[in-house]
A and B are shown apart, each in its own frame.
Chain A
Amino acid sequence: MISLTSYAFVSMTLFTIGVMGVVSRRNVFVIYMSIELMLNGVNLFLVTFARHHLNLDGQIITIMVIAIAAAEAAIFLSVIILLFRSKKSLDTDMFTALKDKESK
């Protein structure tokens, strides 16, 4: 009963929920967690196909993705701390420091 399609369904659902989070939410933390969710969905897909072909390359790429996610977590969270200190808000629409002033 468990086939490739069911694993593909789970990972595509996770990826879609991540995209929905990035598009619809305005809380920085939730956007960050949605990005992590998309990475997890892709990881599941890679591991599924590594098992399907009995080839370890997919698992190695997954390890690389997890390492990149860890680096991303460190940078993203320190940027969030800086932004929260200066603006006292988690709203992404508040962070307009780099925006063109005349277009406001």
Chain B
Amino acid sequence: MIDIVFLALSFFAIGGALAMLLNHNPMYSALGLLICVLSIAGLFALLSATFLFMVQLIVYAGAIMTLVIFLLMFLNINEEDMPEEPNKHKYMILAAIVMIPFNLVIIKAVSNLPGSDLSIVSEGFGGIKDVGMHLYTDWLLSFELISILLLVALIGTVVLAKKKKSRGAK
């Protein structure tokens, strides 16, 4: 049963990613990436990371992808605004050929590891209590630094999105 769920989720993840790569219109690309992100959330749930499943749904699918789709609609992109990509397929094949050795090395290394059953852990591991305890004790410094980073990003966005006129008046 879980095998079928895994196969379906990975099929949708890779299919969504390919749809993102191959569609000319960025709107369809965003929808393909949305499917991919949702399937990855499902894979997180299969790996018994329940908190990350929720975070992936809320932050990626709910916030980031919604922001991208909102912007695409907001900018009202016409056909002539989009670049022509005459050499697209050539570069894609080139990049794939470059990446194949890395993939082979990593998959070979991973397949030599001692196997373990990746079945769903019944309780505890990956839940919000465990992750929270870990985050606020062992990773406290990183957590604070990340919050400062988010604050800086917030201020930077406001500064960037301001009208040019008000910057000149300062």
Size of the B side of the interface (Cβ < 8 Å), in residues, is 82
Q: Which of B43, B51, B77, B99 contacts A16 (CB under 8 A)?
A: B99
Residues of A within 8 A of B52 (CB): 47, 59, 62-63
Chain B proximity of A47: nearest CB distance (Å): 5
- Are A59 and B49 in contact, with the CB atoms below 8 A? yes
- Are A77 and B43 in contact, with the CB atoms below 8 A? no
The complex places the Cα of A2 from the Cα of B141 at a distance, in Å, of 36
Q: Which of A25, A40, A54, A69 contacts B40 (CB under 8 A)?
A: A40
- Are A89 and B110 in contact, with the CB atoms below 8 A? no
Chain A window 40-56, contacts with chain B (Cβ cutoff 8 Å), 1 for yes, 0 for no = 10011001101110101
Q: Which of B48, B55, B149 contacts A51 (CB under 8 A)?
A: B48
The chain A residues found within 8 Å of chain B, CB to CB, are 1-10, 12-21, 23-27, 29-30, 32-34, 36-37, 40, 43-44, 47-48, 50-52, 54, 56-57, 59-60, 62-64, 66-75, 77-82, 84, 88-94
Q: A10-B13, A21-B21, A24-B94 are in contact. List 4 more A-B contacts (CB 8 A).
A: A29-B68, A40-B40, A54-B125, A59-B131
CB-CB nearest 10 A-B residue pairs: A91-B83, A71-B153, A24-B91, A29-B26, A23-B95, A26-B83, A20-B95, A8-B110, A78-B160, A51-B47
The chain B residues found within 8 Å of chain A, CB to CB, are 2-3, 6, 10, 13-14, 17-18, 20-21, 26, 29-30, 33, 36-37, 40, 43-44, 46-49, 51-52, 55-56, 59-60, 63-64, 67-68, 71-72, 75, 77, 81-83, 85, 87-92, 94-96, 98-99, 102-103, 106-107, 110-111, 113, 115-116, 118, 121, 125-126, 130-131, 134-135, 138-139, 142, 146, 149-150, 152-154, 156-157, 160-161
